[in-house]
Structure 1
Amino acid sequence: MRRRARRPRAATTVALLAATLTASLAAGCTGHGGASDDGRGQLRTPAPSPSTGTADTGPSPSASPRTGSVLAVKIDNAPDARPQTGLDAADVVYAEQVEGGLSRLMAVYATRFPKAVGPVRSARESDLELLRQFDRPTLAFSGAQHKLLPLIDKASLRAVPPELAGDAYYRGSGKAAPHNLYLRPTRLAPSAPGADALTTGFHYGAAPAGGTPQTSRTVRYPAARFTFTWSGDRGRWQVSMDGTRAVSPDGRPVAPATVVVQYVQVRRSAFHDFLGNNTPYTQTVGTGKATVLRDGRAYDADWSRRRAVDGTEFTAPDGTPLNFAPGQVWVLFAKAP
């Protein structure tokens, strides 16, 4: 796996985020939002179509664009947030459990930027560990619980909530707040950094030997579920979330080439939402078991991420690297039995 030089940490001014979100937990909102989550602050309205955004005029002057690092965007996965925008353009999509047994997504972009991404939602403590595998990534998010802000400020990433780059965000039409906040990626960086920025540890190539034929796989959280259905015609896994097929706003299916069910430790954190629900902490450093879905087959795998600055290696039972299919990868963090 490739190693990369670390750059000095630079404190952000994320402490500007002082307000917390007050909205319905049933709608997937957990009280971790900044002032942007209530539709006020520095956001520009009226809002354009979430599938196109407005014409891009270059990076935000306040964004200090970086062209060598991935862009990670926290994306809402409540029913009211669907269909999401820009998921189909991500190189990697991570799914994690949040408060109340619901789910949230993190989309990582390196090879191309869509015109818009969203709806954008709040960050979690687990995100900081997950993102350390990249070299100073940019994290776009709507806000965070105020007790988490000092940890975000110290993290080795570039945190860009709406308060620091208001012209990069906008409110979309057709959805109610807080499920209507969108990001224009090229307002944060002029272009995507390229595949070399994806220091995930993943291996791509020919399908491994063996595996078990599988046409459908469901992963359940306490109050959410994901189903992946193999399409031989497309050579992809069609995504359904909570029983609804995932599509882009113009109807194109969200269909990764590889799906990883990664079994991890999910424990209680020191953080709670405004209703008192504990925020789960998804531990992505360590070792464990996984199932890799590609080409209509399921492969047993072991995963290993020894340090937070490392990517995650997936290997077959005999210890050889387990190749992913070229294309988008979804990683679902599931609680280890």
Structure 2
Amino acid sequence: MTGLLAAALAASLAAGCTTSDSPRDDGRGQERSTATGDGESRAKSPAALAVKIDNARAARPHTGLNEADIVYVEQVEGGLSRLMAVYAQKLPKVVGPVRSARETDLELLGQFDRPVLAFSGAQSKLRPLIDGAPLEAAPPGKGSDAYFRGKARTSPHNLYLRPHRLMPKAPGTSVLTTGFRFGAAPAGGKATASQTVRYSAAAYTFTWSKSRNRWLVAMDGKAAGTTDGKRVMAGTVVVQYVKVRKSDYHDKLGHHTPYTETVGSGKARVLRDGRVYDVKWKRPKTKDGTTFTTKDGKRMNFQHGQVWVVFANAS
């Protein structure tokens, strides 16, 4: 991105945030939730915030991605990818660009207790499934004042979210019912400098930086950064091998939407502290989190910091 475009994008994001980020008062002394429209304060019912984020090349660099606790990488139509960023400890002022939801998201988010899902929209046939899922759907139509269009990019890569318009404060780590465990690294593992995961039209590379004690993220061969000029880095990277099949949905070009099965069991690779560990993953039911165990059957500890989970096809 040129300096001129970065400056323009920063200016447009700032312009979109000129109004107050505090929750609106509904006139009865209660904070109104734009996610539900029911006048109940989100503070009384903490929930994780999940945001579907565009990852086309025209959507980069991202905004607010470094504040996420977890970043999931999903395959979509045409061999491309999208991100699902989950926020609990901190809510950035702005997140985006925001894009549409997929059927895969519903199973993935079943591990959380009624999370708030921010997305730009969905196919009409998918909307009944979203409405019936155990989550709070918050597309622009339900939380319209939480979204704005940036001026530095063209649609559809310019929709941004103000998270504080959906919930008054960060819910805290208690809502992260993922099954992840953090702590000291286990014995074993193999020293590795980098790991690359490829889809047919997208690639992710994670390179170990000893000085930063983090994995530096690259997308399609280029270093990933954010609009505030910072690198995207992960404390732990999980390459989770899953079954990816065709769903019943497709895009306007006829490309079937991949469905990523995150319930079940299989193999995974966990990257932390400059080493890679071959582990097993297990998620018995949709409402369960995912556990990762080493070859000796012990739970795999993650490094503290942002976790990236990249879903790769097991076949």
Q: Deviations over 1:136-179 (max 9, x none)?
A: 00000000011000000100000000011111000112111110
| TM-fit CA distance, 1:54 | 3.1
Whether the 8 Å CA contact 1:52–1:116 is kept in 2: the answer is no
Q: Indicate the residue corresponding to 1:304 in structure 2.
A: 282
Identity of aligned residues (%): 63
Q: Indicate the residue corresponding to 1:36 in structure 2.
A: none
| TM-fit CA distance, 1:181 | 0.3
2:145 to 158, 167, 184: 167
The one-letter amino acid of 1:246's match is A
Q: 1:48 to 1:101 in 2, by over 3 A?
A: same
Whether the 8 Å CA contact 2:70–2:307 is kept in 1: the answer is yes
Q: Is structure 2 residue 292 aligned with structure 1 residue 291?
A: no
Distance 2:240 2:68 in 1: 19
Q: Indicate the residue corresponding to 1:280 in structure 2.
A: 258
Distance 2:51 2:310 in 1: 16
Whether the 8 Å CA contact 2:35–2:137 is kept in 1: the answer is no
Whether the 8 Å CA contact 2:16–2:149 is kept in 1: the answer is no
2:12 to 21, 45, 48: 48
1:115 to 93, 113, 117: 93
Q: Indicate the residue corresponding to 1:66 in structure 2.
A: 42
Distance 1:99 1:57 in 2: 34
Q: Indicate the residue corresponding to 1:151 in structure 2.
A: 129
Q: 1:257 to 1:146 in 2, by over 3 A?
A: same
| TM-fit CA distance, 1:49 | 1.8
Q: 1:199 to 1:292 in 2, by over 3 A?
A: same
1:186 match: secondary structure:
helix
Whether the 8 Å CA contact 2:63–2:228 is kept in 1: the answer is no
The one-letter amino acid of 2:42's match is R
Aligned length: 291
Distance 1:56 1:295 in 2: 41
Distance 2:313 2:224 in 1: 23
Listed as ranges, the matches of 1:8-47 within 5 Å are none
Structure 1 unaligned spans of 5+: 1-46
Listed as ranges, the matches of 1:1-337 within 5 Å are 48-49=12-13, 53-59=17-23, 61=32, 62-64=34-36, 65-67=41-43, 68-337=46-315
TM-score relative to the length of structure 1: 0.84
1:107 match: secondary structure:
strand
Distance 2:266 2:23 in 1: 40
The one-letter amino acid of 2:302's match is F
Whether the 8 Å CA contact 1:170–1:182 is kept in 2: the answer is yes
TM-score relative to the length of structure 2: 0.90
Q: 1:278 to 1:324 in 2, by over 3 A?
A: same
Distance 2:130 2:227 in 1: 31
Whether the 8 Å CA contact 1:236–1:255 is kept in 2: the answer is yes
| TM-fit CA distance, 1:250 | 1.9
| TM-fit CA distance, 1:52 | 7.9
| TM-fit CA distance, 1:48 | 3.3
Distance 1:327 1:70 in 2: 17
